[in-house]
Structure 1
Amino acid sequence: MIDVLLTTLTISTGAIRFEELGLSPIALDLGFFQLRWYSLAYLAGIVLGWWYLMKLLGQPGAPMARRHADDMVFYATLGIILGGRLGYVLFYRPLYYLQNPIEIPQLWDGGMSFHGGVIGVTLGILWMARQHKLDWLRIHDYVACCVPFGLFLGRVANFVNGELWGRTTDVPWAIVFPDGGPFPRHPSQLYEALLEGIVLFLILWYMFWRTRARYQPGRLVGAFLLVYGLSRFFVEFFREADAQLMEFARMTHLHMGQWLSLPMILGGLYLVLTAGRRAANVRPVPENA
């Protein structure tokens, strides 16, 4: 009965069918080789992040020299890939991968966790900072300003893939996704692209370029964690829970993404509120250090 009602809703609201958008997850198909938009999103996010990081390091008071940027990008990339994959395995499908451990390295089949990627990048920054005797918290501030590029492109790629769609709805911009049944759904991937990508970038841009936040260790990365956490927590109300976590969402009344965002919100709030105490210890790093 519910299926009939929702199908009728699709017709009556004139919901957009995903196929009508003419999108394909494959950017280039040579037969023997396929290049997917999702892979390009990761690559473009890293390249744009590196470019923007170089611009930030060119400003007074930088926590590391530009020559450190290549090392930073290397460790951050490792953190994104390893942390993102292991985070997905542990947070979203632990039982499945416990039974099928050989599939854990198969990144081409999808399955990455942003929260796991955050942990991986954090560990990479800690290692890099220790190697060069740099201020790890201030490096986090600068790297945080660069992350929204990847977040925006990644969520747009999720949309192009027709995955991670939202809950059923009757809003005028609802979309019927290929694997989401005949029901109109929230394009929650685009909501996340807007909030976690564009809005978050603009907030951090203003704080870096128009305030003295970069001289207050932890304020920028704290703002990143706080705004991202709140944005993700909010959008999850419009997003369909992962199939294997439906029961978990029913039992806890929150999605896994919301539970993982709570520590980010609390940690971000703490860093923002305490950043002023650390301002007196800021020392710029000379290029030849």
Structure 2
Amino acid sequence: MPPLWYDFRVITQPLFLGTFSLYSIILSGTAALGLFLSWWMAEDKRTFILDAGLGIILTSLLGARVGFVLRNLAYFLEQPGQMPQFWLGGLSWPGALIGAGLAVVGIHLIWKEPLGELSDQYLPLLGVMAFGTWLVSWGTGIGYGPEVDTWYGILVHDLYGLSLKRWPLPILGALLSGGWTAGVILFPIKRQRDPGFRALTGTAGLLAINGVISFFKVDPVPVLWGLRWESWFSLISLAIIMIYLFMVRTDEKDEGSNP
């Protein structure tokens, strides 16, 4: 028997066109929309942006599955045949983010594209995928919040097979992620910033949103020192980005005071 947190209900969802589950449709649709926005907002090299974006999506999918398998390695060592079967459910968003980041760095090293500009270019893809991930968590009954008996509660079919009204964490996460990403992309920056600033700011916001909301989740998952793995990942990654941005800001001040 798989552990409770390994959600096999993904493949038992109603199928559309006889083949696709809602889970796969949402992830595929948001990936396509995010890649389209990155392509549409590109000023040049649109074909390259599209081709590289497909590679980033595939690498993030691989990273998502590898991250989930490593986090639950004890189970998968007993069931090695299930390791590549991502359609059974079991994708790690931290793994997806790491995979996407490695793909961007790889593209930068191989094709000599500026890393900062490349990162900024794919911020729409990251934001839309974050939006879709929250919707998927609602549809598959994972990452849910405490029970609530008020008007703002949403019906969630949880891992125990119960349909209960719970805090609207997935909707909140989706709206905040989409709104934050759109704001970072569209909001005019008065001061000239180095390429990559928008990508770092956007990613920091998405990590903060995930980190805060993760403290309110009550679904059963493996924990480390009392916190969910995703909570640790969000906090550590956010701290690294904030330290980097602080150091960059300090350097800019020093350059301004010493022309």
> One fold, TM greater than 0.5?
yes
Query: Structure 1, residues 132-191: CA drift from partner, whole Å, max 9, x if none?
Result: 111123211221233111221232232223333212334432245333546542232212
Give the CA RMSD over aligned residues. 2.5
Percent sequence identity over matched residues?
Answer: 20
Q: Which runs of 4+ in 1 moved over 6 A?
A: none
**Which consecutive unaligned segments of at least 5 residues does structure 1 have?**
1-23, 279-289
Aligned 8 A contact 2:116 2:197 in 1:
no
Query: Structure 1, residues 81-104: CA drift from partner, whole Å, max 9, x if none?
Result: 10010111123x121112222111
Query: Structure 1, residues 232-270: CA drift from partner, whole Å, max 9, x if none?
Result: 1111122114x242xx36xx2322211010122112213
Partner of 2:75: 96
Partner of 1:201: 181
Q: In the TM superposition, what is the alpha-carbon distance from 1:274 to its structure 2 partner?
A: 4.7
Match of 2:25 among 35, 40, 43: 40
* d(CA) in 2 for partners of 1:27, 1:217: 43
SS at match of 2:16: strand
Partner of 1:268: 241
SS at match of 1:177: strand
Q: In the TM superposition, what is the alpha-carbon distance from 1:106 to its structure 2 partner?
A: 0.6
SS at match of 2:20: strand
Query: Structure 1, residues 178-219: CA drift from partner, whole Å, max 9, x if none?
Result: 3354654223221211222x2222222234xx2268851231
Instruction: Report the count of equivalent residues.
Output: 238
Match of 2:101 among 114, 122, 135: 122
Flag the structure with more relative contact order, 1 or 2, with Cα contacts below 8 A and sequence separation at least 6.
1
* d(CA) in 2 for partners of 1:271, 1:43: 33
Partner of 1:6: none
Match of 1:72 among 45, 52, 55: 52
* d(CA) in 1 for partners of 2:146, 2:194: 40
Aligned 8 A contact 2:207 2:234 in 1:
yes
1:56 and 2:37 correspond? no
Q: 1:28 to 1:230 in 2, by over 3 A?
A: same
Q: 1:66 to 1:184 in 2, by over 3 A?
A: closer
